[in-house]
Amino acid sequence: MKLSPTELTELAQLAIEAATAAGRMIARSRPAHIEHKSENSSLASQVVTEVDRRSEALMLQRLQPTLDKFSIGLLTEEQPDNGGRFTSDYFWCIDPIDGTLPFIENTPGYAVSVALVQREGTPVIGVVYDPVEDMVRHAIAGVGGFLNGESWQRPSSHGTKLSLFTDRSFLSCPEHSQVTAGLEEIAAATGLTGLHVDASAGAVMNACRVLTNAPACYVKLPKPNGGGSLWDYAATACLFAEAGAVATDVFGRPFELNRANSTLMCHKGILFATDQSLARQIRDLVRQVLS
C-alpha cells in the first residue's frame, strides 16, 4: 500500500509532535543513571540512560496508533528488532536520543530523530528535533524540507574553510591523518583557507551541521561491525534528499536503510556532503585511503 500525500503529511505532523515532546522532555532532564551495552564497540554506542527510554516512550505514545491504522512497522534503538520492517510497506525508524555522550556531558550535539522508511529502504519522512536550540527540521519526499514549519532551502553562501563534522572515534582511527591531509588538499584546491574539524556531536547533528555550514562533509570509513545504525541516518538522509545535498555510502551508492541481516550501517561507510563536486572528491580520497 502506497501512502498518499495527505497521509504522509498527517504522519509527518505526528512525527514532529512526537519528536518535539520527547526533545522538550530531554531538555529539562539530566541522566540519573548511565547503563552500558557491552555488546557494542564504540563508547558512543555503549551508553544508554533512563532518559533515552523515557524519550522513546513519549514518542511511541503518539506513533503507536499509526502502526495499526496505516500498517506500519517499527524499529527503535532501545527495543529488539521484531522484523516488522520486512513485512510492512513502511516502518518508523526511531532514535530517542542520538548523541548520548553530548547529552550526558550537557553539551550541544544531541537530537531526537524519527524517519518513515519504505520497505525497500527509501526514507519518505525525516524529522530531527534539536533540544538545545528548540528547533525542528523535517522533510517529506517530493515535498521539500522545513525548519520550524517554514520552507527551508540549503544556504548558498560558503564559508572560508572546509568543515568536517565527525565522530570522536575518527580522531583515533589509523586513517585519521591521511583523511584529514586529503581533505586539506581538497580545501586548498578549491580556494579555501583550510580544514575545520568538529567531533563534538552525534551522527544526526553532524549531518544537520553539514547542511548549514557549506562547504562541509561528514565521513565515516567502512567498518564491518559497528559505526552507526539505521536510526542514526534515516531521517537525515531524507533531509539531504529534499535539500539537494549528498547522502550516500563512501562509494556513491544509496544507503541501505533496511538491511536484511543487520541494523548496522557503516559496512560501506558514510558520506554526507553539501554538494556533488565535494562528494566526488571525497570518494576519490577514500578510494586512495582504502587502497
Share of the chain above pLDDT 70, in %: 93
Are 19 and 56 in contact by the 8 Å Cβ rule? The answer is no
DSSP state of 106: T
Whether the per-residue pLDDT at 38 is higher than 50: the answer is no
CATH number for position 221: 3.40.190.80
Whether the per-residue pLDDT at 65 is higher than 90: the answer is yes
Residues 261, 187 share a domain: yes
Residues 139, 44 share a domain: yes
- The least confident of 68-72, 132-136, 224-228, 246-250 is 224-228
Q: What is the pLDDT of residue 169?
A: 87
Which residue, among 77, 100, 111, 65, has the nearest Cα to 211 in the 3D structure?
A: 111
Are 219 and 286 in contact by the 8 Å Cβ rule? The answer is yes
The domain in which residue 209 lies consists of 162-290
Residues 134, 167 share a domain: no
> What is the average per-residue pLDDT within 235-243?
98
Residues 126, 25 share a domain: yes
Is 75 part of a structural domain of the chain?
yes
Cα separation values, 216 from 28, 166, 180, 193, Å = 31, 11, 13, 13
DSSP 249-268: -TTSPPP-TT-SS-SB-GGG
Summarised one tens digit per residue, pLDDT across range 50-62 is 888 999 999 999 9
Q: Which three cell numbers stand for residue 65?
A: 496508533
Is 225 part of a structural domain of the chain?
yes
Is 156 part of a structural domain of the chain?
no
- pTM, rounded to two decimals: 0.93
Q: Which of 102, 122, 151 is the last residue of a domain?
A: 151
Q: What is the pLDDT of residue 156?
A: 74
Are 193 and 187 in contact by the 8 Å Cβ rule? The answer is yes
Whether the per-residue pLDDT at 89 is higher than 90: the answer is yes
Q: What is the pLDDT of residue 225?
A: 75
Are 55 and 22 in contact by the 8 Å Cβ rule? The answer is yes
Q: What is the pLDDT of residue 43?
A: 45
Whether the per-residue pLDDT at 45 is higher than 80: the answer is no
Q: Which of 151, 176, 192 is the last residue of a domain?
A: 151
Is 104 part of a structural domain of the chain?
yes
- The least confident of 30-44, 161-175, 179-193, 251-265 is 30-44
Summarised one tens digit per residue, pLDDT across range 183-200 is 999 999 999 999 999 999
Sign, Cα dihedral of 58, 60, 65, 70: positive
Whether the per-residue pLDDT at 44 is higher than 60: the answer is no
Q: Which of 126, 151, 176 is the last residue of a domain?
A: 151
Q: What is the pLDDT of residue 34?
A: 60
Share of the chain above pLDDT 90, in %: 79
Cα separation values, 83 from 2, 39, 45, 90, 121, Å = 20, 20, 21, 12, 14
Q: What is the pLDDT of residue 200?
A: 95
Rg of the chain over all Cα atoms, to the nearest angstrom: 18
Rounded CA separation 190/15 (Å): 39
Count CA atoms within 13 Å of residue 123 on its CB side.
33
* β-strand pairing of 135-140 with 144-147: antiparallel
In degrees and rounded to multiples of 5, residue 104 shows phi and psi of -60, -40
Residues 185, 112 share a domain: no
Element (H, E) at 159: none
Summarised one tens digit per residue, pLDDT across range 254-281 is 999 999 989 999 899 999 999 999 999 9
Overall domain count for the chain: 2
Whether the per-residue pLDDT at 226 is higher than 80: the answer is no
Q: What is the pLDDT of residue 256?
A: 94
Q: What is the pLDDT of residue 257?
A: 96
Rounded CA separation 169/67 (Å): 36
Are 94 and 235 in contact by the 8 Å Cβ rule? The answer is no
- The one-letter code for the residue type at 13 is Q
Which residue, among 203, 185, 204, 205, has the nearest Cα to 194 in the 3D structure?
A: 185
